[in-house]
Amino acid sequence: MGKIRITKQFNFETGHALYGYDGKCRNVHGHSYKLSVTVIGTPITDTSHVKWGMVIDFGDLKKIVKEEIVDQFDHATVFNKNTPHVELAQELISRGHNVILADYQPTSENMVIDFSKKIRARLPENISLHSLKLQETDTSFAEWYASDNQ
The 8-class DSSP code of residue 68 comes to: I
Active-site annotation holder among 25, 68, 109, 143: 25
Active-site annotation holder among 67, 75, 87, 97: 75
136 flagged as catalytic: yes
Distance between CA atoms of residues 68 and 27, nearest Å: 26
H-assigned helices in the chain: 58-65, 71-73, 85-94, 108-122
Neighbouring CB atoms inside 10 A of 2's CB total 5
130 flagged as catalytic: no
Q: Are strands 140-145 and 76-80 parallel, antiparallel or unpaired?
A: unpaired
Q: Are strands 76-80 and 4-16 parallel, antiparallel or unpaired?
A: parallel
Selection from 130, 125, 129, 131 nearest residue 144 by Cα: 131
The answer to whether residues 108 and 142 touch, using CB atoms and an 8 Å cutoff, is yes
29 flagged as catalytic: no
Active site residues: 25, 75, 136
